[in-house]
Structure 1
Amino acid sequence: MKAYIKAFVLPSLFMVAIISQVTAQTRRTTTTNRTVKTTRTNTAKVETTKSSATKRIPNTRVTYKTPKRKVVSVRTLPNRTVITHRGQNYYYSNNKYYTQSRGRYIVIAPKVGFRVHVLPTQYTRVRFNTFNYYNAQGVFYVQVNNEYEVVDPEIGTIVYELPDDYEKVIIDGLTYYEYANILYEKVQINGARAYEVVGIIDMEYK
């Protein structure tokens, strides 16, 4: 009888113990792998959502809080300078750009690609990552050789003031600030109010 126990029962118990241990390890491994997969999936979703919400926004998703855009216009421009860009005349005066319509001059933000040899006065330097911007009245410039070119700022760029004629807009139920098709979100930095670039309105979207 003792010989039977040694020959058959003890090896069987040993095999059961090994199988149980392997099964437990397999369960732990499976659980760990599932946890990692879930974490990575959730992270990817967050990054994708953030990326799609903070780049180019179709103008069809944008609702302005006021039914009409703010229009700043004057009848005359003292000491104006005429600058032509892609067939369009810009009139520079009082640190602003204007376009002419029906005998009046209407404030306009120059388009991306617009270049000048001299920056508007009262500009501020804005640094973000490796970019050095010059911001004047809500328009961003970068230096290209001996000229300054209007560009869209990178997402995350911070400014501390917006032009007086900015607009409030709603996108997916959230309120943002818009000027020259640049979207800003109000933030707090070291207790001070600031505005962070979160997107660009794509006016060519159809």
Structure 2
Amino acid sequence: MKSLKLLVIIVLLVGATSTVAAQRTVKVYPRQGTVVTTVYQPRLVVHKGVNFHFSKGVWYKARGRKYVVCAAPVGVKVRQLPLGNKVVVRAGRKYYTYNGVFYKKKGRNYIVVSV
């Protein structure tokens, strides 16, 4: 009887851990050119006289009351990157990447670079 209880407990534990492991979050980013009506807490970044909005690793340009997803402008500076960014070494140089955009750290800022 003890072995049966132990077996049931083991099966329940294995089933519970496999269920938790199967539940993964998949981030889906909008494609360039996509028009959205709201952006979650966008940060305004002015680069070469153009206003860009940066939110959760996605770059936008305002168009009236809507936002259009755009490419990250090369050379623009941001103070911090979103959580989940990765460190990549290319040609002996250290870069940070998030959502397909490469950043190079300079002082306290991160600068969008073309790699």
TM normalised by structure 2 equals 0.73
Counterpart in 2 of 1:195?
110
Counterpart in 1 of 2:66?
147
Q: Deviations over 1:126-184 (max 9, x none)?
A: 00002101111121100123320111122110000101100111221211000111110
Counterpart in 2 of 1:176?
95
Structure 1 segments unaligned to the other structure (5+ residues): 1-101, 201-206
Q: How far off its partner does 1:104 sit? A: 4.8
Larger radius of gyration: 1
Counterpart in 1 of 2:81?
162
Structure 2 segments unaligned to the other structure (5+ residues): 1-21
Q: Counterparts of 2:83 and 2:25 in 1: how far apart (Å)?
A: 17
AA aligned to 1:171 is: R
Structure having the higher helix fraction is 1
AA aligned to 1:198 is: V
Question: Please, which of 29, 40, 47 is the counterpart of residue 109 of structure 1?
Answer: 29
What SS does the corresponding residue of 1:141 show, helix, strand or coil? strand
Q: Counterparts of 2:94 and 2:28 in 1: how far apart (Å)?
A: 23
Q: Post-superposition, which runs of at least 4 consecutive aligned residues in structure 1 deviate over 4 A?
A: none
Q: How far off its partner does 1:125 sit? A: 0.4
AA aligned to 1:116 is: V
Q: Counterparts of 2:103 and 2:29 in 1: how far apart (Å)?
A: 16
TM normalised by structure 1 equals 0.42
Q: Counterparts of 1:150 and 1:113 in 2: how far apart (Å)?
A: 5
